[in-house]
Amino acid sequence: MAGDKTLGLVGVGNIGKHFAARLLNAGWDVLVYDRNVEAAQKAVSGGGSVAESLEELASRTETILLSLPTPQSVQAVVEEICAAEGATTKLVVDLSTTGPAVTREIAPRLSDAGIEFVGAPVSGGTANAEQGKLALMAGGPQSAFDGMKPVFDVLGKNVFYIGDDPSLGQTIKIINNTLYATSMIASCEALVYGIKAGLDAQTMLDVINTSSGRSFSTLERIPQCALDGSFPLRFSTELLHKDVKMCLDDAERIGAPMQVNPVARQFLAFAMTQGQGDRDNVEVLKFIEEWAGVELRAATTE
């Protein structure tokens, strides 16, 4: 497992780069691979090293962590790891939001190659990734989870073992992200209505956040990213749409009704058609502001 203090890490984007930094600071040896060589070198500037290929990574580490943006990229990387000559890999841990369907596909592929698998998606965004305050939802063999727990504790504040089915961690993750999407869009609508009715933005948030309407969106995302109009890229619209779609598709597969959450998917899809796919998801607020003829950020009292 992770007992040799050497970890492979594939993917050092907005979240993965913080994984690399935290693991290095905690004393782990980290070998990184990313198609963006500059990003890989920057991620290990404080120590660690960069692999030139996935084959090299698989031949030098027993445990590989994945932090990748799409299910397709996870599938491709897993296939290369399984096919790598001279591989020493014994465990793959997927920290990406891959979805239960793809997880169910790659788990037997890894098993056939003699590699254990833990699906352990994370939640909390880039700020919490940097601070090691993520929530982590792990599914897979209990022994593999136990072996990885010291690593998980470096990456997250709230670590949950979901069960021995690696797809269950992915299931709760896409449920969480779908709830976030729906509550975020609903919160934007409600706040814009309040502005047009004459309320102050900060006052509304103060009231909501001490009342029953509060959510992650009203507590953190809107105050931190929208009130000042900065909209920093923390989680793109297209990636959130991907997660919501995976949730709705899997719910339909098992016959679980979803009547409200599909509206969030439709709104995110609309935003993508307007060229907002690569922007932070909270920027959907701008459409609601435009339609109402008011701006949330312009209505904040100094």
Q: Are residues 184 and 290 in the same domain?
A: yes
pLDDT at site 299: 54
**Domain extent at residue 295:** 171-299
Please compute, for residue 249, the number of CA atoms within 13 A of its CA located in the half-sphere on the CB side. 11
pLDDT at 55 exceeding the cut of 60: yes
Q: Residue 95 corresponds to which tokens in the numbers above?
A: 């920290």
Does residue 132 lie in a domain region? yes
pLDDT at 265 exceeding the cut of 60: yes
pLDDT at 89 exceeding the cut of 60: yes
Q: Are residues 38 and 111 in the same domain?
A: yes
Q: Are residues 91 and 156 in the same domain?
A: yes
Per-residue pLDDT band for 301 (boundaries 50, 70, 90) equals very low
Here the CATH number for the domain that contains residue 132 is: 3.40.50.720
Q: Are residues 10 and 142 in the same domain?
A: yes
Q: Residue 235 corresponds to which tokens in the numbers above?
A: 């989680």
Non-local CB neighbours of 281 within 8 Å, separated by 6+ positions: 181, 184, 235, 236, 237, 240, 268
Consecutive H or E run containing 75:
helix 71-83
Consecutive H or E run containing 92:
strand 91-94
pLDDT at site 41: 94
- Are 19 and 67 in contact, with CB atoms under 8 Å apart? yes
Task: Give the number of other CB atoms < 10 A from CB of residue 4.
Answer: 11
Backbone angles phi, psi at 69, to 5 degrees: -80, -25
Q: Which of 165, 192, 212 finishes a domain?
A: 165
User: End-to-end CA distance of the chain, in Å?
Assistant: 53
pLDDT at site 5: 76
pLDDT at site 127: 84
Beta-sheet pairing, 63-66 with 91-94: parallel
Per-residue pLDDT band for 302 (boundaries 50, 70, 90) equals very low
Q: Are residues 10 and 151 in the same domain?
A: yes
Q: Which of 165, 189, 204 finishes a domain?
A: 165
Does residue 1 lie in a domain region? no
Q: Are residues 180 and 258 in the same domain?
A: yes
pLDDT at site 2: 52
- Average pLDDT along the chain: 94
Q: Are residues 137 and 47 in the same domain?
A: yes
Q: How many domains does the chain have?
A: 2
Q: Give the tens place of pLDDT for each residue, 227-239.
A: 999 999 989 999 9
pTM: 0.89
